[in-house]
A and B are shown apart, each in its own frame.
Chain A
């Protein structure tokens, strides 16, 4: 399956910047069965990386216990309008995707 779209929004808070991201991914646990009773293979995002102006600020490792179409919020100190945020993920099949946005 091709990597689905990602959505991100970064907004200024009181002394911090809030980054919200939505990833499109099945996050299969390897325990669910399809309509024919066959187990759906384990398929999930393992790594999530958040960069601000090119510098990695959050390095996340996750499991199949994260809900389908993962949504995360991260925060960093300060921040300014126009900061460039990049979020990327890598799954257990080697598929990857990323998205970029500027702080609004």
Chain B
């Protein structure tokens, strides 16, 4: 039937649009609510990690004292099997959430990064495994803050 063709094309177009849209969104997902949170509890809530279980298998390697708050090296990792994401929060920063990383296709739940710290603060790491959240903290003392100036 000749009348079928435009209709089929319309369905195809709708299907394609439906497919392309989530792909475009996926390419630039940025958790505005969690990153915009001004307190650690609010950021954790946005991450769905309010009730995270403390765990020794969430590891934070960082200096006890950071002389320069503008560049504080932190190594975060998880020994919990099936860890799919790790987030790091600097609890006393104006916006505590510093980063959240998803791991797939053989990536190890490990990230080394440099963060800015405004003042001495607990650094909290949250790991997600099997839909559950696990957490650990470590205090880092800052001699010279690294957010203003």
Q: Is B93 interfacial (CB-CB < 8 Å)?
A: yes
Chain A residues close to B by CB (< 8 Å): 16, 27, 29, 31-32, 46-47, 50, 52, 55-68, 70-78, 90
Q: How far is the CA of A64 from the CA of B148 in the complex (A)?
A: 12
| Chain B residues positioned under 8 Å from A29 (CB to CB) | 116, 147
| Chain B residues positioned under 8 Å from A27 (CB to CB) | 116
| Chain B residues positioned under 8 Å from A32 (CB to CB) | 148-149
Q: Mark B86-111, 1 if CB is under 8 A from A, else 0.
A: 00001001110111111111111011
Q: Which of B23-41 contact A (CB under 8 A)?
A: 28-31, 35
The interface residues of chain A, by DSSP majority, are classed as strand
Q: Check A70/B35 contact, CB under 8 A, given A52-B105, A58-B107.
A: no
- Write 10 A-B pairs (CB below 8 A) sorted by A numbering: A47-B28, A52-B106, A55-B105, A59-B104, A61-B29, A64-B116, A72-B112, A73-B110, A73-B113, A75-B110
| Nearest A-chain residue to B148, judged by Cβ | A31
Query: How near does chain A come to B135, taking the closest CB pair, in angstroms?
Result: 18
Chain B residues close to A by CB (< 8 Å): 28-31, 35, 70-72, 75, 90, 93-95, 97-108, 110-117, 146-149
| Chain A residues positioned under 8 Å from B112 (CB to CB) | 71-73
Contact of A61 among B70, B99, B105 (CB under 8 A): B99
Query: How near does chain A come to B27, taking the closest CB pair, in angstroms?
Result: 8
Contact of A58 among B72, B102, B114, B149 (CB under 8 A): B102
Q: How far is the CA of A70 from the CA of B2 in the complex (A)?
A: 59
Contact of B101 among A59, A68, A76, A90 (CB under 8 A): A59
